[in-house]
Structure 1
Amino acid sequence: MRIGSVDQVNQIYNTPVTSAYKQPELKAGLVDEAQFSDEALVRGAAYKAVQDTPEARMDRVNELKAQIDSGTYDVSARDVSEAIFNQMFI
């Protein structure tokens, strides 16, 4: 196999590469804008409200824990049945 024109091959490797992509020119005074739908605004407000609320009322949790530990925690069967009924049918 004979390789000729080595100079032409070397020219290809020595040619600087120029980028075909050109940065767009920025015009002064233009600002990017975004418009959000009403649903997105409502969802954002709801998400923020959830993030701002505490997970649990720790004073109530500690009170219930103390009652359970001491054996004085008592819930009436009527209260439990009403809560179950309300969750299922209301």
Structure 2
Amino acid sequence: MRIEAYNQISQVYNTEKANNIKQNMKASQNDKLEISQQARDYQIAKNAVAQTDDVREDLVAKYKAEIQSGEYEVSADDFANKVIESYNKLML
């Protein structure tokens, strides 16, 4: 039994394995990624939201001034109606 022959066979086997890996890598280089229109629309919407201010300063200033001056009043009926509307939207 010759040990050197085993080493030579092992080297040939590893060389073939490396060649197979290289061929597979070449084949995978032709892969393409396609993004759906829905994903593109989502990205556009996400960017638009990111560029929009979180707080509408004009409305905040208006209501803050009304509260500080004591002019701001909330109707209990209006408040109750808004709560019911929100609840109904959630249940649909």
Amino acid paired to 1:73: Y
Which residue of 2 is the match for residue 70 of structure 1? 69
TM-score, normalised to structure 1's length?
0.56
Which has the larger Rg?
A: 1
Amino acid paired to 1:41: R
Runs of 4 or more, structure 1, over 6 Å off, are none
Within 5 Å, which residues of 2 pair with 1:12-31? none
Amino acid paired to 2:73: D
For 2:76 and 2:52, the matched residues in 1 are separated by 31
For 2:51 and 2:85, the matched residues in 1 are separated by 28
Percent identity of paired positions between Structure 1 and Structure 2: 33
Shift of 1:33: 5.7
Shift of 1:79: 1.3
Structure 2, gaps ≥5 residues long: 1-21, 23-30
The C-alpha deviation readout for 1:13-67, integer Å capped at 9, x for no partner, is xxxxxxxxxxx9xxxxxxx964212331121022012113221221110111111
